[in-house]
């Protein structure tokens, strides 16, 4: 058995890992640690440092396991042992936020920043904690102060803009953009009954599923042309052979080519047919008044068509070891506090083909909002499945299954994940309808269109495309 502080740190760890009565036992051990510290003068600060390092490692391990309560307990032990030590505060604050303790997280991050005001990671997490507390103007103050110290950064400038939007104090240039986009919409046609139903459902829960048939009625020309274009994509010889290679891979990390790709499980239209232009029938479908009209009404202003993607997710190898990665894990998109996206299904899609999973009532502007879980905006990335499941009602988790021709409108500010095709291929297009007030509306990818092509469109569609 080990003795001294390091030994005790190990025993704390063993207790936390294993058996019950953790809290009682932990309290005993902390008081024992304190006693040792005060009585054993010979205990050197080197030993204390080693013990703290061990506890910190243990905390990291528990966080990686998603055991946030246990991680919190371990990290609190460090605080008791060495109240002046702030090295673990970044992890500690993150854990507190994951446990919904935003106020304490704010204090922890501020203490850490008092030590090192140029610590960028802690600063962004402090801004996250302030978003969780709805203190958007304080977040702006923190970010501005930081940039004064370390220099202006586009990433942080965008974040400032987002907080100002959320605090309802947009920058003057954003107010001008908002007014222009609202005015444009005032002159556009009112939504039809079918569109209004979708808009109402989106506002309530953040998601609405419909179909081209429901929106376009007997006029199937736009859908037919889009489907034909999608078929041209998936039937292309090179696309077929890449899809086969993806389905044959047991481990993307082992493959010299796939290991370099951000999303190795997807085949993108753009990689084979170039940038999407307004002549592409899929782009025409998206810029139709039937679809664009829903986006504009939902966003309450004329919207920008951005990041249009046409994708094939081939089914993964049954023994593929990569698991869910990136957007296949639960997350909130960060482009704006309202981000309307629309999926078009070009084949039947269900859970086996990686249908998008969505948690209703989690988009921050929906009227049924249940729980913020992880605030918006945030740099936290992908919260653990366990945390999401523990906090949100089971009945709100839905899989957006649908037949070919399905349209899924969703506000991806709410929690979602998708594209994990285990059994069948996923054939989809995706488009974002960004509000022009979003900090990313200017920089996100557009559909290509010449001046001449734009002449065929009305003012609202032209605004969307450019």
For Fe ion, the closer CB: 314 or 419 = 419
Q: Which residues pair with 268 in a beta bridge?
A: 311
Residues 6+ apart with CB under 8 A from 206: 358, 360, 361, 362, 363, 366, 410, 411, 413, 414
Q: Which residues pair with 448 in a beta bridge?
A: 277
Size of the site for Fe ion (CB under 5 A): 3
The only residue of 333, 336, 347, 411 in contact with Fe ion, by rule CB under 5 A: 333
For Fe ion, the closer CB: 112 or 338 = 338
Residue 356 Cβ vs Fe ion, minimum distance, rounded to whole Å = 9
Of the ranges 3-11, 63-71, 262-270, 329-337, which one interacts with Fe ion (CB under 5 A)?
A: 329-337
Q: Is 376:131 a contact under the CB 8 Å cutoff? A: yes
3-state SS record for 328-392: HCCECCCCCCCCEEEEEECCCECCCECCCEEECCCCCCCCCCCCCCCCCCCCCCCCCHHHHHHHC
CB-based closest residue to Fe ion: 333
Host H or E run for residue 228 = helix 221-235
Residue 324 Cβ vs Fe ion, minimum distance, rounded to whole Å = 13
Residue 226 Cβ vs Fe ion, minimum distance, rounded to whole Å = 22
Residue 334 Cβ vs Fe ion, minimum distance, rounded to whole Å = 9
Residue 84 Cβ vs Fe ion, minimum distance, rounded to whole Å = 41
In the shown chain, the binding pattern of residues 386 to 425 toward Fe ion, with x for contact by CB under 5 A and - for none, equals: --------------------------x-------------
The gap between the terminal CA atoms of the chain, to the nearest Å, is 70
Per CB under 5 A, does 335 bind Fe ion? no
The answer to whether the peptide bond before residue 308 is cis (omega within 30 degrees of 0) is: no
For Fe ion, the closer CB: 229 or 333 = 333
Three-class DSSP category at 28? helix
Place of tokens 């399905």: 406
For Fe ion, the closer CB: 92 or 358 = 358
Residue 443 Cβ vs Fe ion, minimum distance, rounded to whole Å = 17
For Fe ion, the closer CB: 304 or 417 = 417
Residues 6+ apart with CB under 8 A from 416: 330, 331, 333, 356, 357, 358, 359, 410
Residue 46 Cβ vs Fe ion, minimum distance, rounded to whole Å = 47
For Fe ion, the closer CB: 140 or 340 = 340
For Fe ion, the closer CB: 119 or 333 = 333
Of the ranges 322-330, 372-380, 392-400, 433-441, which one interacts with Fe ion (CB under 5 A)?
A: 322-330
Of the ranges 172-180, 189-197, 279-287, 323-331, which one interacts with Fe ion (CB under 5 A)?
A: 323-331
How far are the Cα atoms of 209, 336, 350, 409 from residue 198, in angstroms, in the given order? 8, 20, 21, 8
Residue 418 Cβ vs Fe ion, minimum distance, rounded to whole Å = 8
Separation between Cα atoms, residue 304 and residue 181, nearest integer Å = 10
Of the ranges 21-29, 186-194, 254-262, 333-341, which one interacts with Fe ion (CB under 5 A)?
A: 333-341
Separation between Cα atoms, residue 231 and residue 235, nearest integer Å = 6
Of the ranges 9-17, 218-226, 263-271, 324-332, which one interacts with Fe ion (CB under 5 A)?
A: 324-332
Three-class DSSP category at 407? strand
Q: Is 342:431 a contact under the CB 8 Å cutoff? A: yes
Per CB under 5 A, does 327 bind Fe ion? yes
Residue 343 Cβ vs Fe ion, minimum distance, rounded to whole Å = 11
Of the ranges 122-130, 330-338, 345-353, 403-411, which one interacts with Fe ion (CB under 5 A)?
A: 330-338
State the burial class of residue 193 (Cβ atoms within 10 Å of its Cβ: 0-12, 13-18, 19+).
Answer: exposed
Q: Which residues pair with 343 in a beta bridge?
A: 408, 430
For Fe ion, the closer CB: 180 or 357 = 357
Q: Which two tokens stand for residue 228?
A: 């034909």
Per CB under 5 A, does 336 bind Fe ion? no
For Fe ion, the closer CB: 232 or 263 = 263
Residue 416 Cβ vs Fe ion, minimum distance, rounded to whole Å = 6
Phi, psi (rounded to 5 degrees) for 337: -80, -10
Q: Which two tokens stand for residue 106?
A: 């704010």
Residue 307 Cβ vs Fe ion, minimum distance, rounded to whole Å = 10
Separation between Cα atoms, residue 82 and residue 327, nearest integer Å = 39
DSSP label of 277? B
Residue 328 Cβ vs Fe ion, minimum distance, rounded to whole Å = 10
Q: Which residues bind Fe ion (CB under 5 A)?
A: 327, 333, 412
């Amino acid at each position: 058995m080990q003795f001294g502080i390091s030994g005790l740190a190990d025993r704390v760890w063993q207790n936390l890992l294993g058996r019950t009565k953790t809290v009682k036992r932990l309290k005993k051990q902390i008081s024992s640690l304190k006693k040792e510290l005060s009585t054993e003068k010979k205990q050197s600060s080197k030993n204390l440092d080693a013990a703290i390092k061990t506890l910190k490692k243990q905390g990291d391990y528990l966080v990686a396991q998603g055991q946030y309560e246990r991680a919190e307990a371990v990290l609190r032990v460090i605080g008791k042992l060495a109240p002046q030590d702030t090295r673990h505060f970044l992890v500690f604050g993150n854990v507190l936020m994951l446990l919904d303790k935003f106020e304490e997280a704010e204090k922890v991050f501020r203490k850490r920043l008092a030590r090192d005001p140029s610590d960028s990671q802690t600063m962004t997490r402090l801004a996250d904690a302030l978003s969780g507390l709805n203190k958007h103007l304080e977040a702006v103050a923190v970010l501005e102060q930081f940039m004064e110290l370390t220099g202006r950064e586009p990433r942080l400038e965008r974040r400032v803009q987002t907080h100002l939007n959320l605090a309802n104090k947009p920058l003057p240039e954003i107010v001008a953009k908002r007014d222009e986009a609202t005015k444009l919409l005032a002159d556009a046609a009112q939504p039809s009954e079918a569109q209004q139903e979708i808009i109402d459902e989106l506002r309530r829960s953040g998601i609405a599923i419909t179909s081209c048939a429901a929106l376009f009625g007997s006029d199937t020309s736009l859908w037919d042309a889009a489907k034909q274009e999608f078929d041209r994509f998936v039937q292309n010889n090179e696309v077929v052979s890449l899809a086969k290679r993806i389905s044959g891979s047991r481990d993307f990390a082992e493959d010299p080519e796939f290991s370099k790709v951000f999303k190795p499980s997807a085949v993108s239209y753009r990689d084979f047919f170039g940038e999407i232009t307004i002549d592409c029938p899929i782009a025409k479908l998206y810029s139709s008044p039937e679809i664009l009209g829903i986006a504009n009404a939902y966003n309450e202003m004329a919207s920008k068509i951005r990041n249009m993607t046409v994708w094939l997710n081939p089914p993964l190898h049954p023994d593929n070891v990569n698991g869910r990665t990136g957007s296949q894990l639960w997350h909130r998109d960060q482009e704006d506090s309202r981000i309307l996206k629309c999926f078009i299904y070009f084949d039947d899609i269900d859970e086996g083909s990686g249908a998008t999973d969505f948690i209703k009532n989690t988009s921050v502007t929906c009227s049924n909002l249940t729980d913020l879980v992880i605030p918006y905006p945030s740099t936290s990335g992908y919260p653990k499945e366990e945390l999401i499941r523990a906090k949100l009602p089971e009945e709100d988790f839905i899989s957006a299954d649908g037949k070919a021709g399905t349209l899924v409108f969703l506000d991806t500010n709410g929690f979602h994940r998708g594209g994990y095709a285990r059994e069948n291929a996923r054939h989809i297009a995706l488009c974002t309808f960004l509000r022009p007030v979003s900090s990313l509306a200017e920089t996100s990818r557009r559909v290509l269109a010449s001046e001449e092509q734009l002449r065929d469109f009305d003012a609202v569609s032209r605004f969307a495309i450019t």
